Structure 1
Amino acid sequence: MEGLSTGTLLELAAVAVGAGMAGGVLAGLLGVGGGIVIVPALYFALTLSGMEGDIAMKIAVGTSLATIVFTSLASSLGHYKRGAIDTGLLKLWAPSILIGVVLGSLLGGYVSGKVLIAVFATVALLVSADMILRKGRADPEPRSFSKPVWAFFGVITGTLSAMMGIGGGTIGVPLLNFLGYDIRRAVGTSAAIGFLIGLPGALIYALSGLGAEGLPPFSLGYVNLLAAAVIIPLTTTFSQFGVKLAHSIPRRALRLAFGGFLLITATRMFIDLFSG
């Protein structure tokens, strides 16, 4: 958007710094790819600069997916070294997740930004309630489901994650935990899933946004390269700190931290949606 001043771009970069640091810690700690922080941070920064909420949300989602490609690689490597990634589940889930990502990214690039805000806030609120109110089993054991059921879960996870601009952990962590996976293995596996979501999702948002009006400088479609360049090195660095935290604090504390943060984020997004 040509109307954005140099000062506004600097403010966007400053917001990206904070989002990158916080997103990195949460990526390693919760397996969420950092998008649950990055999307609302970029969205609010862009709307406060005068950008329309519709285009701001799409840029926030597309840019977040681009950063998740790198964050998930760094975070999943840390969890893999600690044996917290279920490679069998990744192989089982990957094809259906990719299908969901393509569907969600295509929808996200063409529907109203308000739809993306509503999806983001609703899913975050439901997940936060589940993580806060439901107690995990002391000795969790994965439940057995047929491949079509796993495929269904994968498509839903991929679709919603691509529409929300998140790495899959926001949905994948509570889903895997509900299905009987230990919270730490759920976090580790979801961190790896982030790469499957971020790469194709970012490419589709970049392509679908080519030629769109009102884009800020340094944008490739709905991916803002300036914000991504600031966020990526910070999230990849700080994700390792989050990984250490995830393997050193109690399971219940991890669930409450995840749920509490999502509750705050969802509330703020709903306020913005209805006030707009």
Structure 2
Amino acid sequence: MLTILAFFGLLVGFSSGFFGIGGGTILVPTLIYFGYDIKTAIGISVMQMIFSSMFGSYHNYKAGVLQLNSGIFLGFGALFGAGLSGVIVDTLSSLSLLILFASVLVLSIYKFFTAPLMPKCEPNESKIVLFGVGFVIGAIAISTGTGGAVFLTPVLVGFLNWDIKKAVGTTLFFIIFGSISGFISLATHGHVDYNVGVAVGIGSLIGVYFGVKLSHRIEKKVQKRALLILYVVMLVLTLNKILSEMNIL
């Protein structure tokens, strides 16, 4: 089983590098499919993010697509917000977590879909705004097992007028802060399977390298379409799980 999960870690790592995401949108549904409850799946997912986000951010920085100054303020916001994840996961039911994830994902899809490919005005890089955005997304995202990029990229592109390449590169860096804080919080509350987390994390290191390289070469239009497809697929899987939890399917 660990070998199979390490292979999925490779796929998750590739997606992390290419889309600038933590990988939880793929890994959490996969782990649930393998029989893990959502809270343990979230803990494993967050642990994996530490591996992929650090390694991927290093390569994004070398390529010049990481807005380091802005990313730090987003990251510190996430650091504080993600610290609430253990309490949120303990407080909310599995169904409530799924509904929260689906609701924010719907908003993200809409805003990202309607955003222009080329920003029409200067990007908003207000340190206060970025910290606030990081705090809110960090709390919600880590609590649902994602790094937050699936929510943050649409906010940066759709609301703050960022270029999609720099948004993708910076969101992966943002994940470092939230994943570390969230991992500590979730581990304290007993929601982390360390053996599975390490296996998936090692696999993700290989995948993220190739994902980042492809992300730097692909056209913006193609990358946006790929992101939208990913979001829709994850929404369908999440809605299916919600219906299952409600015993409708």
TM-score (norm 1): 0.82
Q: Tell me which residue corresponds to 2:112.
A: 131
Q: Tell me which residue corresponds to 2:148.
A: 168
Amino acid at match of 2:138: G
Distance 2:74 2:112 in 1: 22
Amino acid at match of 1:186: A
Amino acid at match of 2:202: P
Quick one: which of 216, 240, 246 aligns to 1:271? Answer: 240
Quick one: which of 35, 46, 63 aligns to 1:82? Answer: 63
* Aligned-residue identity in percent: 25
Quick one: which of 207, 225, 228 aligns to 2:194? Answer: 225
| Shift in alpha-carbon separation, 1:142–1:133, aligned structure 2, 3 A | closer
Over the aligned positions, Cα root-mean-square deviation in angstroms equals 1.9
Distance 1:15 1:267 in 2: 24
Matched, 1:207 2:188: yes
Matched, 1:177 2:166: no
Do the aligned residues in 1 keep the contact of 2:157 with 2:163 (CA within 8 Å)? Answer: yes
Distance 1:121 1:134 in 2: 20
Residue segments in structure 2 that go unaligned for 5+ positions in a row: none
Matched, 1:39 2:28: yes
Query: CA offset at residue 58 of structure 1?
Result: 0.4
Q: Can you list the C-alpha shifts for 1:133-179, whole angstroms capped at 9, x where unaligned?
A: 4332267631254x443332121111111112112211121111121
Query: CA offset at residue 96 of structure 1?
Result: 2.1
3-state SS of the aligned residue for 1:166?
A: coil
TM-score (norm 2): 0.90
Equivalence map 1:75-154=2 (5 Å): 75-137=56-118, 141-143=122-124, 145=126, 147-154=127-134
Do the aligned residues in 2 keep the contact of 1:96 with 1:154 (CA within 8 Å)? Answer: yes
Distance 2:239 2:111 in 1: 18
Q: Tell me which residue corresponds to 1:197.
A: 178
Quick one: which of 44, 63, 76 aligns to 2:44? Answer: 63
Based on CA coordinates, which of the two structures has the bigger radius of gyration?
Answer: 1
Q: Tell me which residue corresponds to 1:236.
A: 205
Do the aligned residues in 2 keep the contact of 1:131 with 1:256 (CA within 8 Å)? Answer: no
Distance 1:149 1:190 in 2: 15
3-state SS of the aligned residue for 2:34?
A: helix
